[in-house]
Structure 1
């Protein structure tokens, strides 16, 4: 069925190495999620540092509902519709949300190497993200279960 003279192992690549192979975040402008506006100073956009840009990427990833906006790929964002609002055990919901956020960050957010130190308290998820430069970024995100 398959040709014997073709090496298939060279043509298959891991999606994690392809999608998260970037070593730079690139230019990112500061965005205030509370006011839903870009941040300006003296009439110009403020450019984020690499750490602030990573925080912004993570915030965008968590806030974006998967497959809702055509500008993003079908795999960008979280799909929590079947978790929230249903009568599932709270521990299952927390574990599944942790898993989905961790997998998404590792595959979609540039420069992230590790997601660790998860905590959940009163509807707020706390976790730490380690960048490829070794810097640790503390993230907290409120989510109603």
Structure 2
């Protein structure tokens, strides 16, 4: 019934390991979020380095509103609608934004291992994302 030349054990092991979408970034084209277009030089799309690709993934995750676009899964994106603008304690808002960003990055951004060094200053968050290769990506988010 089953082929004798196929190693089922190794295929099961390979699917059971953590896939954080995820242990490599792959090829990514550079995207300019300010101009809302891909960067093209001499008629060719510009590829990014791994660190720049991770920055782009973080930017995309933070800019994407949760459940707003059918092309993304129901867990991709950030929902801050019930936090910002409501009369909630500032410490609660800051900690909840940190939690949502951290969980989202660790689950949806390729190669992200940890999110540390959080700083908050007048509506701006600063944090560091460590990759599986040991590189650190500095990121700034304004809400």
Query: Does TM-score exceed 0.5, indicating one fold?
Result: yes
Look up the match of 2:126.
126
Distance (Å, rounded) in 1 between the aligned partners of 2:37 and 2:22:
27
* 1-structure distance, mates of 2:120, 2:102: 14
In structure 2, runs of 5+ residues without a counterpart are: 1-16
RMSD: 1.1
Provide the C-alpha distance between the structure 1 equivalents of 2:97 and 2:25, rounded to a whole number of angstroms: 25
Match of 1:39 in 2: 39
5+ residue gaps, structure 1, are: 1-16
TM-score, normalization by structure 2:
0.85
What SS is found at the alignment partner of 2:24? coil
Deviating above 3 A after TM superposition, structure 1's stretches of 4 or more consecutive aligned residues are none
Alpha-carbon distance in structure 2 between the residues aligned to 1:33 and 1:124: 18
Instruction: Give yes or no for contact 2:21–2:108 (8 Å, CA) kept in 1.
Output: no
1:22 to partner: Cα distance: 2.2
2:77 is matched with: 77
